[in-house]
Amino acid sequence: MTLTSPHLGSSEAWTDARLLYALEEVVEKELNRHLKVVKDWMPHEYVPWSDGRNFPGLFEDGEAWEPQQSKVTDIGKIALVVNLLTEDNLPSYHHEIATLFGRDGAWGTWVHRWTAEEGRHGIVMRDYLLASRAVDPDKLEQFRMSHMSEGFESDNRHSMLHSVAYVAFQELATRISHRNTGHQSGDPVCDRMLARIATDENLHMVFYRNLLGAAFELAPDLTMQAVRDVVVNFRMPGHGMPGFERAAAQMAIGEIYNLRIHHDDVLQPVLRFLKVLEIDGLGPEGLKAQEELGLYMGGLDSEASKFDEKLAARKARMAARGR
Q: Is the CA virtual torsion 39, 40, 46, 50 positive or negative?
A: negative
Read off the pLDDT of residues 38-85 as tens digits, 9 standing for 90 and up.
999 999 999 999 999 999 988 888 999 999 999 999 999 999 999 999
**Residue 201, annotated ligand binder?**
yes
Q: What is the pLDDT of residue 1?
A: 36
Lowest mean pLDDT across 89-93, 200-204, 214-218 = 89-93
Query: Is 171 known to sit in a ligand binding site?
Result: yes
d(CA 50, CA 55): 15
Band of residue 303 on the pLDDT scale cut at 50, 70, 90 = very high
**Is there a binding annotation on residue 262?**
no
Note the pLDDT tens digit of each residue in 231-257: 999 988 878 788 889 999 999 999 999
| Structural domains present in the chain | 16-45+66-322 (1.10.620.20)
User: Would you state the pLDDT for residue 4?
Assistant: 38
- Segment 114-166, tens digit of pLDDT: 999 999 999 999 999 999 999 999 999 999 999 888 877 778 878 889 999 99
Non-local CB neighbours of 238 within 8 Å, separated by 6+ positions: 82, 83, 85, 86, 89, 147, 244
Cα 155 to Cα 34: distance, rounded to the nearest angstrom: 27
Asked if residue 204 belongs to a known ligand binding site, the reply is yes
| 121 marked as part of a ligand binding site | yes
Does 141 show up as a binding residue in the annotation? no
Computed over every residue of the chain, the mean pLDDT equals 91
Give the per-residue pLDDT at 7: 42
Confidence of residue 25 (pLDDT cuts 50, 70, 90): very high
